[in-house]
Structures are given as structure tokens and as C-alpha cells.
Amino acid sequence: MVRVTIEVAGYVLETRLESVPQVGDEVELTAGMLTDTAVPKHCIGYVYLVTGRRWKQETETLCQLELKKLL
């Protein structure tokens, strides 16, 4: 199981994604895909481009996605 977090607009948010998007994929950020962390409302409802991925191996595998908002 991979835990996926996203980095957008300076925030790092944990997601409920079951698979890891590839660089170049588009992801729509919805409240339902995020855990119960405080989510900035100005980030929700937009489509983002995955611009990078960072992997870490701790007690579980963690992948942090870097996103860029598409207009």
C-alpha cells in the first residue's frame, strides 16, 4: 500500500488515492479525495497537472506529488 500526499500552493495534503498518478497526468482536486486535513477552499475543484513525484520508504511507502494548477 502506498500513501500518497500532494503538494499544491505550498500545502502538503494527504489523499485517499489508491494508485499513484504519473508525471504528466491531470488530477482534479476534490474534497472527497483528501483526508480530513484542513483543505484550503481555493485549491478544491480545479484540475492540476502532476509535475513531479518524490518517493520515501519509511514504515510504509510514501509518494508526494507536486501539482501545478491548470487554467
Tens digit of each residue's pLDDT (9 = 90 or more) over 3-12: 898 887 787 8
> How many distinct structural domains can be found in the chain?
1
* Angstrom distances, CA of residue 27 to CA of 39, 45, 59, 71: 16, 10, 27, 13
Model confidence at 56: pLDDT above 70: yes
Which residues constitute the domain of residue 21?
A: 2-69
- Burial group, residue 40, by CB count within 10 angstroms (0-12, 13-18, 19+): exposed
Q: What is the DSSP string of 11-54?
A: EEEEB--SSPPPTT-EEE--GGGB-SS---GGGTT-EEEEEEEE
Cell of residue 31, nine digits = 474534497
The pLDDT of residue 47 is 93
